[in-house]
Structure 1
Amino acid sequence: MLSQFGYIGLFLIFGCTFILITLGIPAVLSRLTRIVPRKPTKIKLETYECGMETTGRSWVQFNFRYYIYALMLIVMDVLAVFLYPWASSLGDLGMTGFFIIAFFLIIVTVGYLYAWKKGALEWQ
């Protein structure tokens, strides 16, 4: 009879085997069928997007504020992920759980206010 760790071991073995098979099938098929082109030319290396030739430079630098907004979105998503289970089990947690989540919200609010004060959230 397998213990709980035995099931975890079997799951890890199954997961690793699945990953190796999934990654190995395209490698084996490309070597056996020789369909994959191996001679890069200038035409093959051109930037191709939406069926049209690129106009202008193909390397465009994005404004770093996009990343700030993305990070803020991730922070708010993580906040929602932590708040939902807390709200559903607030009765069991009592005042200790309330103070822990209040401390967490204070940390997030201070970070948000700092980013706001530095002007990281203003669009220009």
Structure 2
Amino acid sequence: MIDLSQYLPILLFLGVALLLSSAFVFLPMVAQRFTGAYKPSAEKLSEYECGFPAFEDPRSQFDVRFYLVAILFIIFDLEAAFLYPWAVSVFKLGWVAWASMMVFIVELALGLVYAWKKGALEWE
């Protein structure tokens, strides 16, 4: 026979997680109704994900700069993701780890200079 009492802490954890996540989603919605922050207008209800209003034809072309900005963001976000664990353990890893990270940072800096020179960071 299986002892189901071993699963009680997991079920309690999931219940608390579900309760907290629901509270973080629904309590701000309730609070905005009571504080007067809920005043819908055309500007508040407009699309804002990609920086321009949606078109009727989904196959219409739009500017590639949105993709360039997203790719540059991902590149430098990954740099930060690699830099933090390295900074925590650099003293244990030694000079080889320090030198390899300096090569990595120089490569990213060269990429940034290249993108800058090509005008990928310009927004007209």
Please tell me the TM-score bracket, short chain as reference: 0.5 to 0.7
Once the two structures are overlaid, the 10-residue window that deviates more, 109-118 or 60-69, is 60-69
2:122 is aligned to: 122
1:88 is aligned to: 88
| CA positional deviation for 1:120 | 1.1
Residues paired across the two proteins, number: 71
1:58 is aligned to: 57
Runs of 4+ in 1 over 6 A off after TM superposition: none
Letter in 2 for 1:58: D
1:76 is aligned to: 76
Unaligned runs of 5+ in 1: 1-49
Greater RCO, 1 or 2 (C-alpha within 8 Å, sep 6+): 1
Give the percent of matched residue pairs that are identical in Structure 1 and Structure 2. Answer: 41
* Correspondences of 1:93-112 after superposition (within 5 Å): 93-112=93-112
| CA positional deviation for 1:62 | 2.2
Letter in 2 for 1:97: A
Output the CA distance in 1 between the equivalents of 2:96 and 2:69: 33
Look up the SS of the partner of 1:79 in the other structure. helix
Letter in 1 for 2:92: D
| CA positional deviation for 1:76 | 1.0
Is the radius of gyration larger for structure 1 or structure 2?
1
Letter in 1 for 2:84: Y
